[in-house]
Structure 1
Amino acid sequence: MDCSAGDFEHFEVREPATQTIPFVFNSPHSGRRYPASFLAESNLDSMAIRRSADHYVDELFADAPELGAPLLLAHFPRAYLDVNREPYELDPRMFDGPLPSYTNIGSMRVAGGLGTIPRIVAENMEIYRKRLPVEEALLRIESIYKPYHACLRRLIAGTHARFGTCVLIDCHSMPGNIRLAGSDIRPDFIIGDRYGTSASAELSRAALHFFEEMGFSAVRNKPYAGGFITEHYGRPVRGLHALQIEINRSLYVDEQTLIKRPEFDAIAAALSLFMRQMADFVAEFSASDDSALAAE
């Protein structure tokens, strides 16, 4: 399941000595390597441009290989390229020259400034000083986006071939001020399964239960039901399940300074326990039911 060593400038797979559980963990938005040319093109300072990142999420899930599962993580930042989008969700207003005819210019994510090449970071902060050459966008997609997804597909396919099932956990963080609509509830975790289409209900309920058992507030699908990765790779009827996990950033990082809070290690330990519990649940559920984790 190795990915090309040449890709490791942009992303990395941390693999166990032997994969023992049918899980793949993915952290696509925690990259911290900002190309100098990108920073030179930006309106934003080195702190502001990080506002949309999933800060340290790769570190929070760092125990995955020790538990027996691969962890794929991005080194490139989300502000530079967002692999949790279709490959060509591009805003024509951002570029000099015509975009290819197959570009999706009408998605809601493009309209919101959060396409494959984002126009903004959080709080509607414009990234670029001027339009980019179309060739720059296409180069990022060809040289980083496509190899990243090829690697993720290999990890999923290899896991599925080995175990007969695969559970992809797509790891993200969310701003601390996110509330449930019509309430003052600020969830600690949100489990996204595309409203039951990307993973079995049993998996989603188990994930909610494990977080709640640890004393956290956890909800399902609102306001985050999962992005392109969850939707694209989740095929429960084939034994391919994808869950998105959103972690409230205020639990573990100061959102103004982006410095880790003293609680960081405790949150990492809770996620390590969560991963272990999910693996045990899948093993027990599969052993007790030959049709385990099939779509309802």
Structure 2
Amino acid sequence: MVARIVKQNYPSHVVERPSSWRHPYLFCCPHAGRDYPRRLLSMSPLPLETLRRSEDAYVDQLIPSFAKELVPTVHAHFPRLFVDVNRSPRELDPGLFSGQVDPGPLTRSSRVVAGFGVIPKLAADGRSIYGSRLPSSEAKSRLKQCFHPYHDDVSALAEEARERFGRVLIVDWHSMPSSAGGQQKLADIVLGDLFGASCSEEDTGLWEDAFMREGFKVARNQPYAGGFVASNYGKPREGIGVLQIEINRGLYMNERRVARNAGFQTTARRIEQVVDRVLLASAPGAIAAE
């Protein structure tokens, strides 16, 4: 599926609830959105094909369809460079906006400094997304219309799962470049659990084993340990864990063209086996609630 240019100023997200929620999981896909508001394109001097390289393109299509019949999924339709829901709402770069963005304190994290805050300033190739500063009202509107509704649903579903199963693991699906800095090749899969802080070792180990059994080369936390979703929701002692899964784009897509390649179907089938193995292990009676 190619990107869509839409008339709506603030694209939304979609929640798919299973007919029978039988497993203590919530699948989220925050960065694969490809609905580009027409007004966004009018604000940027960059062509759409350049903007699209910021996407975790097609990751939503790698989540097996059968899994959506067993666990709920939350998928952002707005693109990551429009609003990044894996950042704190306080990670705003005041230099991107004209006027005061918010009366409260902002978080000047390394991600904001690098140009990749909750409303990114830079595209994936390091070029400026916008030709001029945005009005401060734009930040407020994007957070109100896109960021907060997405997280309201994630929070509600996570709490519902905890009440239903006694525990829940939010699986945050992402993709990553095939190499770091264009040189160092990365693993096939990187599992991020904030070095053990966002979910239990049992959860990380279960997914790690399932990926390795399908022949994937797996790394933990390097170079991606987790973002806002992991740090904000990951409280394994309280029954809510978060595992961030990064899939190497070289396995399934042409990174330059942002198009699925010949390996897409094979990668999708392998991930289907991974998810099937994990869900079997967490079927009612297979594991005890923490």
> What TM-score do the two structures reach when normalised by structure 2?
0.91
Q: Distance in 1 between matches of 2:66 and 2:80?
A: 22
Matches within 5 A, 1:68-217: 68-178=70-180, 186-217=186-217
Q: Distance in 2 between matches of 1:279 and 1:231?
A: 24
CA deviation string 1:158-203 (max 9, x = no partner): 1111111111100000001138xxx955200000001101110111
State the one-letter code of the partner of 2:199: A
State the one-letter code of the partner of 2:73: L
Secondary structure at the counterpart of residue 205 of structure 1: helix
* Same amino acid, percent of matched pairs: 36
Q: Distance in 2 between matches of 1:217 and 1:186?
A: 9
**Which residue is equivalent to 2:218?**
218
Kindly state the Cα deviation for residue 289 of structure 1 after the two structures are TM-superposed.
5.3
**Which residue is equivalent to 1:14?**
16
Q: Distance in 2 between matches of 1:289 and 1:155?
A: 20
Kindly state the Cα deviation for residue 213 of structure 1 after the two structures are TM-superposed.
1.2
Secondary structure at the counterpart of residue 148 of structure 2: helix
Say yes or no: does 1:231 pair with 2:231: yes
Kindly state the Cα deviation for residue 65 of structure 1 after the two structures are TM-superposed.
4.2
Q: Distance in 2 between matches of 1:287 and 1:83?
A: 33
State the one-letter code of the partner of 1:106: R
State the one-letter code of the partner of 1:215: G
**Which residue is equivalent to 2:280?**
280
| CA distance 1:171–1:80, shift in 2 (3 Å) | same
State the one-letter code of the partner of 2:201: A
State the one-letter code of the partner of 1:212: M
**Which residue is equivalent to 1:38?**
40
**Which residue is equivalent to 1:4?**
none
| CA distance 1:44–1:194, shift in 2 (3 Å) | same
Q: Distance in 2 between matches of 1:192 and 1:240?
A: 15
> What TM-score do the two structures reach when normalised by structure 1?
0.90
CA deviation string 1:36-61 (max 9, x = no partner): 10000012101000111000011111
Residue ranges of structure 1 left out of the alignment (5+ in a row):
1-7
Q: Distance in 1 between matches of 2:277 and 2:164?
A: 21
Q: Distance in 1 between matches of 2:225 and 2:138?
A: 31
**Which residue is equivalent to 2:62?**
60
**Mapped contact 2:280–2:286 kept (Cα < 8 A):** no
**Mapped contact 1:64–1:71 kept (Cα < 8 A):** no
**Mapped contact 1:89–1:103 kept (Cα < 8 A):** no
Residue ranges of structure 2 left out of the alignment (5+ in a row):
1-9
Kindly state the Cα deviation for residue 130 of structure 1 after the two structures are TM-superposed.
0.2
CA deviation string 1:79-126 (max 9, x = no partner): 101010111211111111122232424111110100011001112111
Q: Distance in 2 between matches of 1:164 and 1:288?
A: 11
Of 66-75 and 47-56, more deviation after overlay is shown by: 66-75
The count of residues paired between Structure 1 and Structure 2 equals 280
| CA distance 1:288–1:170, shift in 2 (3 Å) | closer
**Mapped contact 1:64–1:275 kept (Cα < 8 A):** no
Q: Distance in 2 between matches of 1:220 and 1:282?
A: 21
State the one-letter code of the partner of 2:186: R
State the one-letter code of the partner of 2:227: G
**Mapped contact 1:178–1:187 kept (Cα < 8 A):** no
| CA distance 1:9–1:80, shift in 2 (3 Å) | closer
Of 118-127 and 242-251, more deviation after overlay is shown by: 118-127
Q: Distance in 1 between matches of 2:13 and 2:149?
A: 9
